[in-house]
Structure 1
Amino acid sequence: MTAGAAISRRALLAAGAAVGIGGTLMPARTGLARVPAAFEPTQRLTLSAGETELRLLGPDRPATRIYAYDGDQFRLVRVPRGTRLEARFENGLSEASTVHFHGIRMPNEYDGVPTLTQPVVQPGGSFTYRIPFDDPGTFFFHPHCDETGQAGRGLVGVLLVEDPRDPAFDTEHVLCLKDWRLDDRGGFLPMSEPDGAAKAGTFGATRTVNGRVHLDLTAPAGGDVRLRILNVDSTRVMDIGVEGAEAWLIAIDGHALPPVPMDTLPDGIWRMGPAQRIDVQVRMPMEGGPVTIGDYRASDVFTFATIAAAGRVRRPRRGGPLALPPPKLPLPDLKAAEFHSFTLQQATDAAVKDTGLPPEDPLAKALIDSLCVGGATYWSIAQQSWPTGEARHLPPPLARMEAGKSYRIEIKNETRYPHPVHLHGHAFAVLGSSKGRLPKHFADTVLTQPGEAVEIAFVAAPGDWVFHCHILEHMETGMMGWFRVV
């Protein structure tokens, strides 16, 4: 997708091309899946992308013009499990965009990937998404065109699918972690630099939680706190840890797992890349100091939140943590599963295949919108890179699969950098890693470390689904492919 360094040019092109554009773009995908005719919305909303101001550098410093949905930083949408949502996206930006509901199992034509699943939404245009929310948990939504630029400027929303079966926590806090690429006047620096895009990514120096440097939170002494922590940064891998209280990891990417004491994890932290989320239960001490939550990845710990006691819980709970109901997801048949292996690589002329779709394929003549391709190629999956620069033809799928069939996928990282790998439209089982660091769990994004092989499994759903690194510069400079499921 788009390299952030060229945003101003693309924004100008998009604005010029979109004069007089309005109306609603309805599904017109050229792929394979179709929405069930029986879909009946139970809830409707409008998501309008545009600009707003936020004082990210501090209350007495210059404001920054950020992107946001409905003028609300990290727009929060709460829906009950089982909701059938009709969401009308209105593009008030000066460049093209779409919406991807990250981690949601949905009809393929509402997945938000330009060309592959829908037309790009030009400035002044709109598109209506119809999404079933069958899986409870912590999710989010974001663009899938010029994602480094648009999400880098803040165009991210939080989606909480609530389950009436969940245990009752005394307090809940939603924490969105994001860096910002800002100069000392609050303006944006280039979102992508070649040296960053070709290595670990281009980092922001202004670190925030919910748009602030630090949050002072409260919870009753002895109470149980649910923390929904989202890494919505474009680049940074984080090591999340809790000090001052008992804490358990209770969900990954929205999906419950048997509670794991944080202290028993390697180094007492959970390592999460961009796009990953965790739910953590904290049991506040009856006496003693505050609880701190931080990113311990660097020697200079980023303590982004402190929870202080405010009053006491009426009836302190005894015993273990409050387990969430187990997820109800399609379970892959591991014995019958078909195996594929994909290697994440640096792209070189010798390593990248120059291939295209066969002429008879319905997508063979489809061109990726020029606003949604990056400027250079640095990365590949299985010797194949997503188009960049002047190349705009879709590459062939990495694999062709059969709907309803089980698949085991090995993801091998042969680079020097970590890659959080996301598969659209599926919740997959993480079976384990060659480094032995991962518990078995369900997820939609899995972090692969340098030199590591991670194995996942899933039951394939019909459609054309992209498979990519969620360090956005890596995705936009080649590390993306797709699976065709028929």
Structure 2
Amino acid sequence: MDFRRRKLLQVGAAISSYFALPTLSLANTRKSNKEGWIYELTAEEATAEIVDGFQTDVLGFDGQIPAPTLRCRQGEPVTIIFTNKLKEPTTIHWHGLRIPIEMDGVPFLSQPPIMPGETFVYRFTPPDAGTFWYHPHVNSVVQLGKGLVGAIIVEEAEPVLFEEEHTLLLKHWHLDQQGQWKQLMIPRYSARMGTPGEWGTVNGEHEPVYSLRENATTRLRIANVDNTLTYPIAIKGAEAWVVAIDGNPIKTPYPLEQHKISPGMRLDLALHAPKQGEKVYVQYMKGRFPFPLCTFESVASEISSPASLPALPLNPVPDLDLKNASEMDFVFEWEGAISPTKKDGKVDSKFWLMNKRAWEGMNKNSIPAPLATLELGKTYIFDLKNVTQYHHPIHLHGHTFTVLELDGIKLDEPFHTDTVLLGKNGSAKAAFVADNPGKWMYHCHVIEHMKTGLMGYIEVV
């Protein structure tokens, strides 16, 4: 397989083709060399037809399901003018982006919560290209669960051109057959793998069908924006290559057999569209049995023969100083204690611990102590240990891990990620340079695990 990088011929034509993509809507934007990328975005109540023939009350960015896709470019400034039209506070976290702490979207830790009717301006310059996403960090079970999830795509500084590109947001909704909401969080499931939704969608549609031009070099950007489910992904009908994991290109692409994407995680695949009339299936594997997520049908095109698949340049992740690195242990486990009852008689569920601490919660007058305080510019190796039988995708804000070891096996080719998936009794060694000062949230991205204890933060000073 030849992964030689293709050169850009016409930048204007490339940008125009990006904004013509059929699978996701785009927010209101304008672009200028002086100001960079500027978006206006809202969060608001809306209705959407998620279950065919029925309307569901949802929460949507710009009132849309799926949310607008935000596109920008590596190394260029981005401004998002965000207005909260909800009836409760909210924020936006830019998942996977290494940006200043003031823009990270965690209430009280990095910014005040954005109150109803207020506008907050997010400004940052993304150093990395790749597939990322955005979501609130307030009332997360409800706000994410009811639809406040969207993709932010950072194009390469020197654009890498595929002839087709599709962004696929995977989410199961907690809806019945008439599109009415069921419980988003059931405590006995929160103490296990989380409360699963029952209505599967890609970009807000159940088993959608898209078209591909015959022979086209194709990039699939797949993001798991679900609260709970892990998707083991497989492709049928074409040979797909893994080219990026969690927004970060990998050094040596490899053929996809099956790849697990837990909540918060992403996967970029490259493939050639098959001959006209043939189909490509994106599948969710449950053991040996595939379940359909979406289908691509090849249609006639002007592309007479397949071109080489473009290669992705690596992101400028800081070089590790492993010789002088400090190691820290982080153990993720089940508390197994009786949950306390609050004054109003409701149970305050706490099921999960990180280094024997459950997240205490916080407000503007009370910020808990950090799990660790790190020295700015120093390399750290986090020894991650899951001593439970359930998956935990461990996400660190503001930094990029280099995974050195998984389940006791040293990797021949370490990879970069912002979310490390720990399987049943799984372990990992993940290193990074603590080069971004601030108080950075550090948590499991199964939202119910996060909300019932499996969250904390590290401080870089």
Question: Partner letter of residue 61 of structure 2?
Answer: Y
The aligned amino acid for 2:68 is R
Q: How does 1:355-434 map to 2 (within 5 A)?
A: 375-387=348-360, 393-434=366-407
In structure 1, what is the equivalent of residue 47 of structure 2?
53
SS of the equivalent of 1:385 reads: coil
Q: Which amino acid aligns with 2:377?
A: G
Structure 1 segment 247-258 matched on structure 2, within 5 A:
247-258=240-251
In structure 1, C-alpha distance between the alignment counterparts of 2:277 and 2:39, rounded to whole Å: 44
Query: Who is 2:318 aligned against?
Result: 330
Q: Counterparts of 1:190-201 in structure 2 under 5 Å?
A: 190-201=183-194
Q: Which of 325, 329, 352 is the aligned partner of 1:341? A: 329
How far apart are residue 284 of structure 1 and its match? Answer: 2.2
Distance of 1:232 and 1:151 partners within structure 2: 8
Does residue 68 (structure 1) correspond to residue 60 (structure 2)? The answer is yes
In structure 2, the residue matched to 1:309 is 298
Which one of the candidate residues 160, 171, 175 is aligned to 1:178? 171
Match of 1:447 among 399, 421, 431: 421
Offset at 1:117? 1.1
For 2:203 and 2:283, locate their aligned partners in 1 and report how far apart those are by CA, in whole Å: 14
Please give the alpha-carbon distance, in whole angstroms, between the structure 1 residues aligned to 2:423 and 2:121: 37
CA deviations 1:251-275 (Å, max 9, x no partner) are 1111111343334xxxx20111001
What is the aligned partner in structure 2 of residue 19 from structure 1? none
Deviation at 1:310, TM superposition (A): 0.9
Superposition deviation, residue 164 in structure 1: 4.7
- 8 Å CA contact 1:75–1:156 kept in 2: the answer is no
| CA–CA distance in structure 2, aligned partners of residues 144 and 336 of structure 1 | 34
Q: Secondary structure of 2:448's match?
A: helix
* 2:275 aligned with 1:275: no
- Displacement of 1:422: 0.3
Structure 2 Cα separation of the partners of residues 102 and 304 of structure 1: 23
| Further displaced range: 443-452 or 218-227 | 218-227
Q: Tell me the distance in 1 between the aligned counterparts of 2:409 and 2:237.
A: 28
**Cα distance in 1 for residues equivalent to 2:124 and 2:366:** 28
Pick one of 451, 454, 459 that aligns with 1:479.
454
Cα 1:125/1:428, change in 2 over 3 Å: same
Alignment partners' CA distance in 2, 1:441 and 1:165: 22
Equivalent residues of 1:377, 1:388 under 8 A apart: no
* Letter paired with 1:481: G
Distance apart, 1:44 and its partner CA: 2.6
Q: Distance in 1 between matches of 2:410 and 2:218?
A: 26
Residue identity (%): 36
What does residue range 158-177 of structure 1 map to in structure 2 within 5 Å? 158-177=151-170
Q: Distance in 2 between matches of 1:389 and 1:42?
A: 35
Asked whether the 8 Å contact 1:344–1:415 carries over to 2, the reply is yes
**In structure 1, what is the Cα distance between the partners aligned to 2:115 and 2:360?**
21
Kindly indicate whether the alpha-carbon contact (under 8 Å) linking 1:166 and 1:324 is maintained by their aligned counterparts in 2: no
Which one-letter code corresponds to 1:334 in the other structure?
Answer: L
Check the 8 A contact 2:62/2:68 in 1, yes or no. yes
The answer for unaligned runs of 5 or more in structure 2 is: 1-33, 339-346
Cα offset for 1:282?
A: 1.4
Residues 413, 453 of structure 1: 8 Å contact kept: yes
Query: SS of the counterpart of 1:301?
Result: strand
Whichever residue aligns with residue 443 of structure 2, its letter is H
Indicate if the aligned counterparts of 2:214 and 2:303 stay in contact, CA closer than 8 A. Answer: no
Q: How big is the shift at 1:348?
A: 4.2
Which residue identity is paired with 1:472? I
The offset of 1:165, in angstroms, is 2.7
TM-score by length of 1: 0.81
SS in structure 2 at match of 1:408: strand
Distance in 2 (alpha carbons) for counterparts of 1:313 and 1:249:
26
Q: Whole-Å Cα distance in 1 between the matches of residues 430 and 307 of structure 2?
A: 36
Q: Distance in 2 between matches of 1:398 and 1:380?
A: 12
State which of 126, 130, 135 in structure 1 corresponds to 2:128: 135
CA change 1:83–1:400 in 2 (3 A) is same
Say if 2:431 is the partner of 1:457. Answer: yes
Q: Secondary structure at the match of 1:149?
A: helix
Moved more, 162-171 or 272-281: 162-171
The 3 A distance-change label for structure 1 pair 46 and 437 is farther
Which deviations, in whole Å up to 9, do the C-alpha atoms of 1:144-174 show, x marking residues without a partner? 0111100100001210111153432111111
Mapped contact 2:165–2:220 kept (Cα < 8 A): yes
Which protein, 1 or 2, shows the higher relative CO under an 8 Å CA cutoff with sep ≥ 6? 1
Q: Specify the alignment match of 2:27 in structure 1.
A: none
Secondary structure at 1:325 match in 2: coil
Structure-2 separation of matches of 1:318 and 1:121: 48
Q: 1:441 to 1:315 in 2, by over 3 A?
A: farther
| Alignment partner of 1:89 out of 82, 85, 89 | 82
Asked if structure 1 preserves the Cα contact closer than 8 Å seen for 2:222 and 2:267, the reply is yes
Identify if the C-alpha distance between structure 1 residues 72 and 338 changes in structure 2 by more than 3 Å, giving closer, same or farther: same
Matches of 2:214 and 2:100 in 1, distance apart?
Answer: 44
Shift of 1:334: 1.3
Q: Which runs of 5 or more structure 1 residues have no equivalent in the other structure?
A: 1-39, 351-373
Q: State how far apart, in whole Å, the 1-side matches of 2:285 and 2:447 are.
A: 22
- CA offsets, 1:294-320, max 9 Å, x none? 11135552211222211145352466x
> Could you say which residue in structure 2 is the equivalent of 1:9?
none
Residue 203 of structure 1 deviates from its aligned partner by 0.4
Distance 1:253 1:222, change over 3 A: same
State the AA in 1 paired with 2:278: G
C-alpha change, 1:284 and 1:102, in structure 2 (3 Å) is same
TM, length-normalised to structure 2:
0.86
Q: Specify the code of the residue in structure 2 equivalent to 1:294.
A: Q
**After the TM superposition, which segments of 4 or more aligned residues of structure 1 sit over 6 Å from their partners?**
none
Distance, in Å, in 2 between the alignment partners of 1:186 and 1:425 is: 37
What SS class does the counterpart of residue 69 from structure 2 fall into? strand
Measure the CA separation in 2 of the matches of 1:287 and 1:385: 54
Instruction: Tell me the residue number matched to 2:24.
Output: none
CA distance in 2, matches of 1:437, 1:296: 27
2:237 partner amino acid:
G
2:25 alignment partner in structure 1: none
Distance across 2 between alignment mates of 1:191 and 1:436: 37
d(CA) in 1 for partners of 2:362, 2:214:
56
| Contact map agreement 1:84 1:131 (CA 8 A) in 2 | yes
